[in-house]
Amino acid sequence: MNWRGMQTLFRKELLRFYKVGLQTLAAPVMTTLLYLLVFAQALQERVQVFTGVDYASFLLAGLIMMSITQNAFANSSSSLIQSKITGNIVFILLTPLSHFEFFLAFVAAAVVRGLAVGLGVYLAAVLLVPLPIHNPGWLVLFAVLNSAALGTVGVIAGIWAEKFDQLAGFQNFIIIPLSFLSGVFYSIHALPDFWQRASHLNPFFYMIDGFRYGFFGASDIDPLISLAVVVSVFATLVTLTLLMLRSGYKLRN
C-alpha cells in the first residue's frame, strides 16, 4: 500500500469540498432543515409512525441519513467528472497509486463529507426536535456503511458520465427518487401492500430503516436484515468499481 500517496489524494479531496464549505456543507444542512420544518408542520398530525415516537423525530432521523447519502454521492461523483472534463485526471492516473488506493481515497473523502453534513443537521435540529439515541454503535455503523456505499456509487457515476448533464441525470433519475421513496417521510407500514413490497426492493429503504433503529430501537423490519442487505449491496458496488478502475474504463482513453 502506498499510504503516503493515498493520504495525499485523500487530503486533496477533503480540501476540495472544505474550500467551498458554504456550498458543500452549510447549504445541504440548511436545505435539510427546511424539509424538516415544512414536512413536520404539514404532516405532524396526519402520519402515524412507530409507537411512542413523535413524527418530527422520526422525520429528522430519516433526513439525516438522506443528507449523508446524497452528499457522499455528490462528493465523489462531482470530483471525478470535474477532473475528467478539465483534463487534470491525468495527473492522478500518472501517480504510483493502485486502483484500490485511488478508490479508498475518493470513498474516504466522500464518507467524511457525508458524515460532516449529517452531524451538522443533527446539531442544528436537535435543539428544535428531541432525538433520543438508543444504540450509538448501530448509528455509527450504518452512517459509515451507507456513506461509503453512496460514495462508491458516486465513483461509478463519475467514471461513467462524460458530461455534467449525464451526472445530473444519474442523480435526478436514480439517487433522488430512491431517496424520497425509501421511507424518509413515512413508515412503509402506512402504504398499501403493493407499495410495501416495492419498498423492499429499494436498497435506500434498508439504509434509512437500519439507521433509524439506532435512534429509536424500533424499525419497519429486523435491523439485522437491513445490515445484511446494506453489506451485500456495498460489497457488490465495491467489486464493480474496482473492476472499472482496473480496466481504466472511460479514464485512460
**How many whole angstroms separate alpha carbon 129 and alpha carbon 36?**
9
Nearest to 117 by CA among 167, 66, 156, 158: 66
The rounded distance, in Å, linking the Cα atoms of 203 and 227 is 11
Three-state SS across 149-196? HHHHHHHHHHHHCCCHHHHHHHHHHHHHHHHHCCCCCCCHHHCCHHHH
SS3 75: helix
**The pLDDT of residue 245:** 94
In angstroms, rounded to a whole number, what is the distance separating the alpha carbons of residues 144 and 147? 5
> Measured in Å, how far apart are the chain's first and last C-alpha atoms?
26
Separation of alpha carbons 118 and 148, rounded Å: 14
Task: Give just the sign of the alpha carbon dihedral 206, 105, 85, 118.
Answer: positive
Instruction: Give me the phi and psi of 88, to 5 degrees please.
Output: -80, 0
DSSP string, 209-243: HHHHHHHHS--SS-HHHHHHHHHHHHHHHHHHHHH
Residue 184 cell numbers, joined: 424518509
pLDDT at residue 1, rounded to an integer: 85
Give the pLDDT confidence score for residue 52 in this predicted structure.
83
Buried b (16+ CB within 10 A) or exposed e, 175-208: beeebebbbbbbbbeeeeeeeeeebeebbbbbbb
Residues in the chain: 253
Per-residue pLDDT tens for 98-111? Answer: 999 999 999 999 99
Low-confidence ranges of the chain (pLDDT < 50): none
In the structure grid, which three cell numbers stand for residue 57, read together? 423525530
SS3 19: coil
Q: What is the pLDDT of residue 253?
A: 65
Domain spans in the chain, listed from the N-terminal domain onward: 3-247
Q: pTM (2 decimals)? A: 0.94
pLDDT digit string, tens, across residues 107-160? 999 999 999 999 999 999 988 898 989 999 999 999 999 999 999 999 999 999
Grid-cell match 433522488, residue found = 176
Count CB neighbours of 44 within 10 A. 12
For residue 190, the model assigns a pLDDT of 81
